[in-house]
Amino acid sequence: MADHGEHPDHAFDDRYQLLVNSVIDYAIYMLDADGRITTWNPGARRFKGYEPDEVIGENYARFFTPEDREAGLPQRQLEIASREGRFESEGWRVRKDGSRFWAHVVLDPVRRPDGELIGYAKITRDVTAKREAERALWESEQRFRMLIQGVRDYAIYMLDRDGRITNWNPGAEAIKGYTEDEILGEHFSRFYTDEDRANGEPEKALATALAKGKYERQAWRVRKNGEHFWASILIDPIYDAKGEHVGFAKITRDVTEQKRAEEELEQARAALAQAQKLQALGELTGGIAHDFNNLITVIRGSAELLRRADLNEERRRRYLDAITDTADRAATLTSHLLAFSRRQPLKPEVLDLNVRLDAFAEVLSRTLGSTIDVQLELAPGLWRVEADPTHLENALLNAAINARDAMPRGGRLTLSTANVSGSDGGGDMVCIALTDTGEGMPAEVIERAFEPFFTTKPVGKGTGLGLSQIHGFAAQSGGRAEIESVLGEGTTVRLLLPRSDGSVASAVAAKDSPALPPGLRVLLVEDNEQVSAFARDLLEDLGCAVVAAHSGEEALAELETGTFDLIFTDVVMPGLSGVELARQVRTRFPGLPVVLASGYSNEMLKGAALEFELLHKPYCRESLAEALAKVLAAVRRPAARGEA
């Protein structure tokens, strides 16, 4: 039969040769049974550097390094490929120019259908770049491992997603006491105290790190031997290349010594503060004795003169006025002392300071006199504050009077406001500043300016309580007072109060207090017999029927057997305090109004002044009547609405 076309085997061979010759990233060539090169493709020429006529017929061992040739590696590869049907490895090979490259090699035997070996198929790829990248990564990991293993001041280890420990560095062993064999696979919660484990702190730590990207805090942790140490802790979540969460990185440092040093420093500061406090207390005692002896001299002298039978009406009235005025001065002095000690009962309100200070400046101008120019610099958009308006104005007035005294020939007093952002972590504050152009103060005076009874004024020209009252009011209101002064240039006193988000209360027109109903039945509770007798006289003078009790327990017994319209009780009493009594009355006798009376009480700092009507000591007939009428009106208003 005639041959009318190309033989199919020849066409296949041509296509195969075309395929091999088109590959340039792989060296694909054939060897005979002895390892001599019989074919050579462009890929082989590209990265080995030989032309076909330079290598065909040559033994493929020429591509091996001298060391490998001496070791018989080329022949051993052929034997392995022939015996096992395949040989694959990586190693150094040599280009024509003598340079070396890292090669990935596959060697397959080629046999006839009857099994006779006729040669080998050889595929080589240059993977030098890949090997260098892998080696760089390996070296980087080794360096990182050496770094982690070399750190002994920090416990650095990893957790899986559930919190089990997956690796452990020498620092962790040094700090926590566990060897790597003891701790791998254990849950990290074993380092927590029993209380923290019971409260779920380990789980919260991992959840926080996952939610916020970091968990950081300081807390007590437990070593293997049961010893507690103060730890600085950082936990970061770990994600793989796909962004999937795979675990946590955990860093712990033992900062027990640092904490102990801080505590010792704080103790030293407290000791210094105590020493300074004792010095101030000595001056305070002397100041109180001096001022109150003056006041008592006036009161006692006036009282003795009132005993005389031959006094005319004018002199009798003058002595009575002297007693009243002196008592008011004593009350003011006591108020200043309470402000410094942060024990004055406050009734805070949400205030718009710019509005209030605008009106207050007019009062200041009249009070300070024509030689003092009062100016306002009020910041727009001022935040609101919550403070007792009366004590605030009293504090500012004290600062203004000090400023006036520092400007004997006149000057300028600037009252300014500003918002102070809490960027330092201390919260937003509102600053009220009073700046004068007076004489200024030296540093040693500034350091003691807020101490009670410390004054640089001549004897008889001031009590030394003005700035201490400002300091106490600011501290009790949740803020602080500051002072800055330059000799010959002037002084600035700053009052910083916390920002409030509350609403300013609407102004209500003042109304006359309603008259007390005749025969009002009042239970008077006062442990001091003299004060009790005085209060009873005032109440009876107001038309009240009074039953007196001398303790909270006695008052409760009276309430069980008698009927009363109102309770008027002192706050500070042995046993059951006035506040505790008022709360029991509110529970057991709902609707029965209570008025508290106090000049000093820690209870006031616990919010009782906001729960009940408070009458400040010393009180007079008018202030007592107003307080009683106020609580009676508050009781009646709900009933009136119900009847409507």
pLDDT digits (tens, 9 = 90+) for 193-222: 999 999 999 999 999 999 999 999 999 999
> Which residue in 608, 574, 576 sits closest to 594, CA to CA?
608
Which one is predicted more confidently, 261 or 146? 261
Is 60 exceeded by the pLDDT of residue 252? yes
Q: How remote is the C-alpha of 3 from its chain's centroid? A: 97
Instruction: Give me the sheet containing 613-616, strands edge to edge.
Output: 545-549, 521-525, 566-570, 594-598, 613-616
Residue 63 has pLDDT above 90, yes or no: yes
One-letter amino acid of 511: K
More confident residue, 586 or 466: 586
Over 70: is that where the pLDDT of 343 sits?
no
Give yes or no for residue 304 having a pLDDT over 90.
Answer: no
The two tokens of residue 43 are 């890929």
Amino acid type, 346: L
For residue 294, pLDDT over 80 is answered with no
DSSP classification of residue 191: G
Contact yes or no for 239/142 (Cβ under 8 A): no
Find the range with the poorest average confidence among 82-96, 316-330, 564-578.
316-330
Query: What are the angstrom distances between the C-alpha of 279 and each of 276, 333, 397, 464, 481?
Result: 5, 20, 27, 15, 21
Domains and CATH numbers, the chain: 8-132 (3.30.450.20), 151-254 (3.30.450.20), 265-340 (1.10.287), 349-500 (3.30.565.10), 521-643 (3.40.50.2300)
In the prediction, which pLDDT does 427 show? 80
Q: Is the pTM of this model over 0.85?
A: no
Backbone phi and psi for residue 568, each to the nearest 5 degrees, phi listed first:
-120, 110
* Banded model confidence at residue 23, pLDDT cuts 50, 70, 90: low
**Average pLDDT of 223-238?**
92
Best-predicted range by mean pLDDT (59-68, 279-288, 456-465, 477-486): 59-68
For the chain, what is the radius of gyration of the CA atoms?
47
- What does the alpha-carbon distance between residue 76 and residue 81 come to, in Å, rounded to a whole number? 9
**Confidence bin at 38 (pLDDT 50/70/90):** very high
Residue 165 has pLDDT above 80, yes or no: yes
Prior bond of 618 cis (ω within 30°): yes
Query: 105 vs 4, which has greater pLDDT?
Result: 105
Beta carbons of 477 and 388 less than 8 angstroms apart: yes
Q: Residue 278: pLDDT band by 50, 70, 90 thresholds?
A: low
Residue 464: pLDDT over 50: no
User: Does the pLDDT value for residue 104 go beyond 60?
Assistant: yes
Q: What pLDDT does residue 146 have?
A: 62
Class of residue 563 by CB neighbours under 10 A (exposed 0-12, middle 13-18, buried 19+): exposed
Confidence of residue 403 (pLDDT cuts 50, 70, 90): confident
Position 258 scores a pLDDT of 85
Distances (CA, A) of 17 to 121, 123, 313, 349, 360: 13, 15, 141, 97, 104
